[in-house]
Amino acid sequence: MGGMNDWPYRLLAPGPVPMPPEVYQALSEPMIHHRTPEFEKILARVLSRLPQIFETQNPVMLLNCVGSGAMEAAVVNTLSPGDEVISINAGKFGERWSKLAEAFGYINHEIQVEWGKSVDVNQVEEALKKHPNARAVLVQVSETSTGALHPIQEIASLTRNRNVLTIADAITAIGVVELPTDKWGVDVVIGGSQKAFMLPPGLGFVSFSEKAWKFYEEAKTPRFYWDLKSELKSNKDNQTRFTSSVSLIRALDVVLDRLLDIGLTNYQSYVLGLANSLKMGAQTLGFEVFPENPSPALSAFKVPSGVDGKSLRGQLEKKFNITTAGGQDQLVGKILRVGHMGYIKKIDAAKVIEAIGLLMNEQGLNPNIAEAIEAVNQNFPAEVF
């Protein structure tokens, strides 16, 4: 069996994700000042191209924070204390919407969904009818803790003609999951740098529809650092309101070159194909796909009987230098999560399946490893990297 010295390190978690070589190069460039013409040109290129990834004609604002900061920015710029909201809690990150709502004094009508399932659109429609004063539906596009995909297009269609916003956490979705923001009428879309953008954590993204900006004018939640209208004003001058994350933004400029060269649709197809090939390999080993409607961004697998998911994840790291993710809260030890975002190639998908199979052999389960690897290789899409 291989050991840590025999297997190169592989990061196959749902975020952060492996980064392409040019990102490391960009991050190693000498520091420049953020209030210079040189940096303004970089930021101008970034701000002009981000809307292509979000598929919107509206500006995409860039924030110095991780995705949760962008989630907070989304609500404090659109809601007021005492406003009613409908939050969809189908996992760890759905819980985060509830905690944000409670922290800022919004009246939260929570739709609880069994972990691993996607919300039923009828539940959302019933909640909107039951709570006609609701101002927003708070939802994940892709629930990272379970791997489930929510029906965002249908949810947005319910709020389109109501005085209600769809506020979508697309942190584990934007770029790799179909999400035409304007076409579907998603009012607020939130992203983060450490997922499909193949960067370190540290940048948050938020797009607002015209409808969302109208809500901004009425919102009374206190805000200073997160004041998005002030941020947008600075962006129009190719500046950030506060000190810019110079290295991350310079690396983002490089990533956008790559993503737009590949093409958004092609990149999404690649990730979907990667997801399907990995699922076929894992199913050959005896794993089951956990979510009913899986997201292309990551796989969440039920571990087979006799396998402890927490131990499996630890052994993958210890013996094979592969980082994955386990279950959270009620799913600890029950599922294994493998990310599909970032600089991932066929060899990476095949090696994680091989390593899992070898660990199962150690436990006397004897899966057909060769067949599982072949399932990955035969179904893997044409590489774009």
d(CA 287, CA 301): 6
Q: Are residues 152 and 235 in the same domain?
A: yes
Domain count, the chain: 2
Is 5 a member of any domain? no
Q: What percent of the chain is predicted at pLDDT more than 70?
A: 99
Domain boundary among 215, 242, 261: 261
Average pLDDT over all residues of the chain: 97
Q: Per the omega criterion (within 30 degrees of 0), is the bond before 37 cis?
A: no
d(CA 219, CA 20): 40
Element (H, E) at 323: strand 322-323
d(CA 271, CA 325): 18
Q: Quote the tokens at residue 132.
A: 């006609």
Contacts of 365 (CB under 8 A, 6+ apart): 286, 304, 306, 307
Domain boundary among 214, 242, 261: 261
Is 121 a member of any domain? yes
Task: List the one residue out of 23, 34, 331 whose CA is nearest residue 196.
Answer: 23
Is 45 a member of any domain? yes
Domain that holds residue 63: 31-261
Q: Are residues 253 and 276 in the same domain?
A: no
Q: Are 104 and 83 in contact (CB under 8 A)?
A: no
Is 107 a member of any domain? yes
Q: What percent of the chain is predicted at pLDDT more than 90?
A: 97
Q: Are residues 141 and 252 in the same domain?
A: yes
Residues 268-287: pLDDT tens digits? 999 999 999 999 999 999 99
Is 24 a member of any domain? no
188 phi and psi angles, rounded to 5 deg? -130, 125
Domain boundary among 212, 242, 261: 261
pTM over 0.85: yes
Task: List the one residue out of 256, 259, 209 whose CA is nearest residue 77.
Answer: 209
* 5: pLDDT strictly greater than 90: no
Q: Are residues 287 and 232 in the same domain?
A: no
Q: Are residues 100 and 207 in the same domain?
A: yes
Q: 6 pLDDT band (50/70/90 cuts)?
A: confident
Calculate the alpha carbon distances from 46 to 16, 51, 52, 248, 260 in Å. 21, 9, 10, 11, 12
Q: Are residues 37 and 64 in the same domain?
A: yes
CATH of the domain at 326: 3.90.1150.10
Q: Are residues 129 and 165 in the same domain?
A: yes
Q: Are residues 38 and 121 in the same domain?
A: yes
Q: Are 181 and 189 in contact (CB under 8 A)?
A: yes
